[in-house]
């Protein structure tokens, strides 16, 4: 009898303990007539997208970005086609930007344009993307959430996307020009020249055309950095700088263009001089004289003119003596 009473007491204590431990958990679940299931209010979404947006924005204003992010994501998941979903996606971009994750911010902003082109935030988002690209262009550290960045500099992708988003928008010409600058800084001169040409072709009335023409010439010159390379690029670069000077004689970049022309002429002179030396070593004296004379006649102000003159005189003496011996 005592054992039975003791056993009942143990069972009673266990049951009380069980309900004491589990009863708080039941408090987090309520029955939803709408879905016909038990739901946890903590994970539930508000009954309308407007209410959910206000709820999430309230967290955002309190600087509780973790909860704000969760609530914005719930809105997008539950009401994906609503105008409030576009606004929630915009706020996700703001959160990423405010926490220094610039590439993630760009991706979040771009989703607004891709999925919600009707959003009134589109122009603002393009401006925000532009500023993010400029930060990467200026060497901003790449803070990411484990994402693999697609290019050497994320600004390449972002400026390109800005142009696609709004081909003839107020930021397009500048984005096109700066895309060229980044490629040029990476020594991708042919690609950079192509982007600068797009500035001239697609945005002929923009303020960036003058600078783009200068950069086109600079890219041409950079393709042939030494006299050993094909001099066609050097000749084209010089012609483009000369055209720039004729079209923009008073431009701020014109002084630099003049300097670049002189450097390119020096490069051409060196190339002709080296060609003359090559022919002289091959005992093709007629061809050597022709190239030495070209340096003296066409590049009289170059460092190579005096060397060519000296070489030519020595070569003429050598050939004259050889003729006398005959």
Do 76 and 56 contact (CB within 8 A), yes or no?
A: no
How many CA atoms are closer than 13 Å to the CA of 183, on its beta-carbon side? 24
Residue 193 CB partners (closer than 8 Å, separation 6+)? 180, 215, 216, 219, 220
DSSP 145: S
**DSSP helix/strand/coil, 32:** strand
pLDDT (tens place) for every residue of the chain, 326 residues total: 546 565 666 555 554 454 444 444 444 555 555 555 555 555 688 999 999 999 999 999 999 999 999 999 999 999 999 999 999 999 999 999 999 999 999 999 999 999 999 999 999 999 999 999 999 988 865 555 455 565 568 999 999 999 999 988 999 999 999 999 999 899 999 999 999 999 999 999 998 998 898 888 888 877 755 555 456 666 666 676 666 666 666 555 556 656 666 666 777 778 778 888 878 888 888 888 888 888 788 778 787 888 888 888 887 887 766 555 65
Which helix (H) or strand (E) covers residue 295, if one does? Answer: helix 285-298
- Cα-Cα end-to-end distance for the chain: 145
Short-list 14, 16, 44, CA closest to 32: 44
Three-point CA angle 298, 301, 303, nearest 5°: 105
pTM assigned to the model: 0.64
Other CB atoms within a 10 A radius of the CB of residue 171 amount to: 19
Residue 14 CB partners (closer than 8 Å, separation 6+)? none
Domains of the chain: 46-146 (1.25.40.10)
Three-point CA angle 243, 249, 250, nearest 5°: 145
Other CB atoms within a 10 A radius of the CB of residue 16 amount to: 10
**What DSSP assignment string belongs to 185-212?**
HTT-HHHHHHHHHHHHHH-TTSTTHHHH
DSSP 41: G
Tokens standing for residue 61: 């204003």
């Amino acid at each position: 009898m005592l054992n039975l009473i003791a056993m009942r007491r143990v069972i009673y204590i266990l049951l009380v303990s069980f309900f004491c431990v589990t009863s708080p958990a039941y408090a987090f679940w309520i029955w939803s007539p709408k879905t016909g299931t038990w739901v946890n209010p903590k994970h539930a979404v508000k009954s309308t997208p407007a209410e959910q947006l206000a709820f999430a924005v309230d967290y955002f204003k309190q600087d509780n970005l973790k909860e704000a992010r969760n609530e914005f994501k719930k809105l997008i998941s539950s009401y994906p086609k609503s105008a409030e979903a576009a606004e929630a996606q915009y706020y996700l971009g703001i959160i990423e930007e405010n926490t220094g994750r610039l590439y993630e911010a760009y991706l979040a902003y771009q989703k607004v344009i891709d999925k919600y082109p009707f959003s009134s935030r589109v122009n603002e988002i393009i401006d925000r993307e532009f500023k993010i690209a400029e930060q990467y262009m200026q060497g901003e550290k790449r803070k990411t959430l484990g994402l693999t960045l697609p290019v050497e500099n994320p600004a390449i992708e972002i400026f390109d996307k800005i142009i696609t988003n709004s081909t003839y928008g107020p930021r397009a010409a500048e984005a096109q020009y700066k895309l060229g600058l980044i490629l040029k800084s990476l020594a991708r001169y042919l690609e950079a020249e192509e982007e600068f040409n797009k500035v001239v072709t697609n945005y002929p009335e923009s303020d960036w055309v003058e600078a783009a023409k200068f950069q086109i010439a600079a890219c041409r010159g950079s393709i042939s950095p030494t006299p050993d390379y094909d001099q066609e690029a050097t000749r084209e670069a010089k012609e483009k700088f000369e055209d720039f000077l004729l079209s923009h004689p008073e431009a701020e970049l014109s002084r630099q263009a003049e300097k670049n022309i002189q450097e390119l002429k020096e490069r051409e002179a060196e190339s002709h001089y080296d060609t003359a030396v090559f022919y002289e070593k091959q005992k093709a004296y007629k061809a050597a004289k022709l190239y030495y004379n070209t340096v003296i006649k066409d590049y009289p102000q170059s460092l190579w003119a005096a060397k060519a003159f000296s070489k030519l005189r020595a070569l003429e003496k050598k050939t004259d003596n050889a003729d006398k011996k005959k």
